[in-house]
Structure 1
Amino acid sequence: MKNILVPLGLSEHSVSIARLQYTIDFAKELNATVYVVEVFKELPRSGSLPSVNKALKEIKASTIEEEIAKIDKKGVDIIALPLEEEILEAIPKFNLQHAIDLIILGAEISDIKVPYFLGEITGSLVKKTEIPVLIIPEMYTFQPINNVLMAIKSGIINKNNALIPIKEVLDTFNAKMKLLQVKTAGFLPEDSEFHNDLGEIVSSYKSSENATLFQGVLEHLNENYPDLLCVFRRKRGFFSKLWEENTVLKKDFDSRIPLLVLRGAD
């Protein structure tokens, strides 16, 4: 992972500085470049001078730089970039130019007055983007990743290079990964087949029977004490129920550890 993108200002309830510091610490381990982006409202071309929009862009760039100045950059290459379009439209275009390997997003704060784990914009990004996403809990401090729990229903992976992000994490931190396969009512015989690349990076395996993949994960999180939870984004996968809407409620899912969402077999 050479290029990491971290958007600011997606929600008034997410903590950008803590997430930005985590991103820098994580990027340092991977020797990656960090793009810090935030959307600004460009005025309509008709009736506005180009110089005005240029000034707005410079103001937003200055705002981003002020946020970056609050953290320890640790020698990481950090690029501040204002985006003129809405984030859901801007990121795919940005990705074509810069080949983003990972987006780091923040979960909503733990205040009981905020019912969401992911807000609408953040949830939409996780749901719709083809780029792997790492979701960081509120005020989470970076620590080396020693143990990973990957939760799957099916061992079949149809997306090319879907495992590259987790492979890089395992190699960088010399981490071990436990594979949890949750067999639900819709489990098919072919789900027992495992992609060769997946089998090569798994240190241990366990299966369980649960009503949903999500319930299986909750049952085994405390048993395994992982530093990272890894899931696939699939129609029949972990978030199939949660992603019926763009928001994800805390009553449906919450996590005290980082959550890596990989591209699955949509």
Structure 2
Amino acid sequence: MKNILLPTDFSKNSKNAIKYALKFFEGEKCTFHILNSQKPSNYITADVLYGAPGTSVYEGILNDNKKELEKLIQFCKSISEGEEFTFVPTVDFDNIVDAVNQAVALNNIELIIMGSNGATGAAEVIFGSNTLKIIRKVECPIIVIPEGYAFEKINSVLLSLNYQYDVANKSFNIISEIVKKNNASLKILEIEEESLELSSQRNHAEEVFKEIGFERFSIKNIPASMAINAFEQLIPVQLHAMIVERKSFFDRFIFGSETSKINYGSLVPLLVLHE
């Protein structure tokens, strides 16, 4: 049984990501851990003013969020009838990164699926910001669902690679599993930031993916975000996989400088793997 983590702030975007997850795992036996995290500092004066008599602010918000989670789970069940899905709700009074790290460790989480944006303009519930934090600080594969993206059958997977860094088999194996499960094609986009000797890294990729086969494309001396966006528009893919290593080419590609936004606006779900 797979254990999948679905963080939610009850926004339209997070609900859309959950719908994507249920379609992604159709036909598999899965436990979906639906996590809502609330940082205590987010509580505002209105929470205190309008709390029910005899209850603490924590209890009031906890009860409200439990009710929201229960409604969300009922919705999930209604759109996944006949599937072997189990739903486990969790409310955590912690910041998003700590809450996700705890959930990953406690529940043997294999994959996180979440939306790219959040419900409101409040600082701690902007999923654009929180998604970045999770990619940076949680060592677990994550699929980020673009705002408003509707699930499409995965017929083709794009893997962007920069061969300046070695890639472990674990990351490649996750991609192979997705490709095999969906009987999809694999397209490898090599992005060269500088002239490198690539034979050993290429041979490694060829060895790992030889059973499923792949097409290779190479791009040189073009900004990565521009190259990938152009590729996605010209060649239809339903999932883009990227392997992130600290201070690597793709770390700079996703995060840029110390900003709060993802520089790369994906047209399709983005699978982020860590090295």
Answer yes or no: same fold by TM over 0.5: yes
For residues 228 and 260 of structure 1, the distance between their equivalents in structure 2, rounded to whole angstroms, comes to: 7
Task: Give the corresponding residue for 1:238.
Answer: 250
Structure showing the higher helix proportion among its residues: 2
RMSD: 2.9
- Distance change in 2, residues 1:94/1:180 (3 Å): same
Task: Render the CA deviation track for 1:213-258: whole Å, top value 9, x for unaligned.
Answer: 3332123222211111111112323242431336225xx3212211
AA at the equivalent of 2:4:
I
The 1-side partners of 2:188 and 2:72 are apart by: 38
1:119 equivalent in alignment to 2:141: no
Number of aligned residue pairs: 246
Percent same amino acid among aligned pairs? 22
Distance 1:201 1:245 in 2: 38
Residue in structure 2 matched with residue 47 of structure 1 by the alignment: none
Shift of 1:73: 3.1
**Partner of residue 133, structure 1:** 142
Letter in 2 for 1:172: K
Letter in 1 for 2:156: N
The 1:143–1:248 alpha-carbon spacing in structure 2 relative to 1, beyond 3 Å, is same
Q: 3-state DSSP class of the match of 2:250?
A: coil
> In 2, are the aligned partners of 1:118 and 1:248 still within 8 Å (CA)?
no
Cα distance in 2 for residues equivalent to 1:241 and 1:176: 25
List runs of 5+ in structure 1 lacking aligned partners: 44-50, 110-116
Cα distance in 2 between the residues matched to 1:136 and 1:202: 26
- Kept in 1, the 8 Å contact 2:39–2:96? The answer is no
Aligned residue type for 2:32: V
Post-superposition Cα deviations, 1:20-69, rounded to whole Å, max 9, x if no partner, equal 111112122443221110013569xxxxxxx9556754442222111233
* TM-score of the superposed pair, with normalisation by structure 2: 0.77
Q: Say whether the 8 Å CA contact 1:3–1:34 is kept in structure 2.
A: yes
TM-score w.r.t. length of structure 1: 0.80
Structure 2 residue aligned with 1:65: 70
Q: Does 2:204 correspond to 1:194?
A: yes
Amino acid of the structure 1 residue aligned with 2:35: V
Question: CA 1:236 to 1:130, structure 2 compared with 1: closer, same or farther past 3 Å?
Answer: same
Instruction: Tell me which residue corresponds to 1:260.
Output: 271
Q: CA deviation at 1:19?
A: 1.6
Moved more, 145-154 or 165-174: 165-174
Q: Which residue identity is paired with 2:19? A: Q
- Alignment of structure 1 residues 96-245 onto 2, 5 Å: 96-108=105-117, 119-154=128-163, 157-159=166-168, 161-185=170-194, 187-189=196-198, 192-195=202-205, 196-234=207-245, 235-243=247-255, 244-245=257-258
Report the CA distance shift for 1:62/1:165 in structure 2 as closer, same or farther (over 3 A): farther
